[in-house]
Amino acid sequence: MAVVNRALKYDGTVSAAVTVDLVIFTVREASLRVLLIERGKPPFEGGLALPGGYVRVGEGLDQAALRELAEETGIDGRELHLEQLRAFGAPERDPRGRTFTVAYLALGPDLPTPVAGTDAATAHWVPVEAALSAELAFDHLAILKEGLDRARAKLEYTTVAAAFCRQPFTLAELRHVYEVIWGIPLDPSNFRRKVTKAAHFVEATGESRTPEIGRPAALYRRGSAELLFPPMPRSADGDDASV
């Protein structure tokens, strides 16, 4: 390590390893789930952690996030929503030494059960409530919380909710995404009015899908809009208090 700080650095400035960590959410079976791995080696061996890994030479941050996503889950990242959360760099966040991590938030439709990656022993889709009360490695609990907050907030004023739905989808499925992530029920009728009136949130395919019971539902696919204006109203009594 000492060799690393060669002529490059003069005084007390840091030369450190940089990693990316991913908060990957999906909606499955009426619950919001996050992908966690059991660490295959120390530190925190056997403990739960967010998937992630070192940024490589010549590799950008987004690029590293996409690669880790593919390696740990076997998923082509171009199919999901991926955005940077922020950087975390508390001096003691990694017992091995100084590391910085750049956290990413990934949102996608019910994803295949991931294959074991390089570092990861096994990966699971864990309901977020369970994950929030679990002991996660490093500062991953804080990262998860920020990812959850960001996801909840983004549903309000963007169209990312549709990223959780495999296309084509019904409006009930889209509404279900909101209900699960916000943890509150929404009025189906008002939700429909809102979504269909918003410009380019969803566009009707003209087809419909007949469920086992009940009236067939019209099918939609994602529209071109990224922002949702006016925003989807979240009832004033926020659930941020629920920790």
Partner DNA sequence: CCCACTTAAAGTCCTACTGACCATAAGTCG
Partner DNA sequence: CGACTTATGGTCAGTAGGACTTTAAGTGGG
**Binding site residues, DNA, CB under 7 A:** 170-172, 187-190, 192-194, 196-197, 208, 210-218, 230-231, 233, 235
Decide: 173 and 222 in contact? Cβ < 8 Å: no
Which tokens belong to 25? 């959410």
56 binds, among DNA, a second copy, none (CB under 5 to 8 A by kind): a second copy
Q: Which is nearer to DNA, 84 or 190 (CB)?
A: 190
Nearest to 222 by CA among 176, 179, 180, 167: 167
Residue 128, amino acid: V
* Residue placing its CB nearer to a second copy in the complex, 90 or 121: 90
CB atoms within 10 A of CB 222: 19
Please compute Rg for the chain using Cα positions.
20
* Residue with Cβ nearer DNA (112 or 214): 214
Closest distance of CB 199 from DNA, Å:
10
CB of 20 to a second copy, least distance (A): 9
On the CB side of 220, CA atoms within 13 Å amount to 21
- DSSP 8-state assignment for residue 136: B
Q: Shortest gap between Cβ of 165 and DNA (angstroms)? A: 13
Nearer to DNA, 189 or 224 (CB): 189
**Which listed option, a second copy, DNA, none, makes contact with residue 97 (CB within 5 to 8 Å by class)?**
a second copy
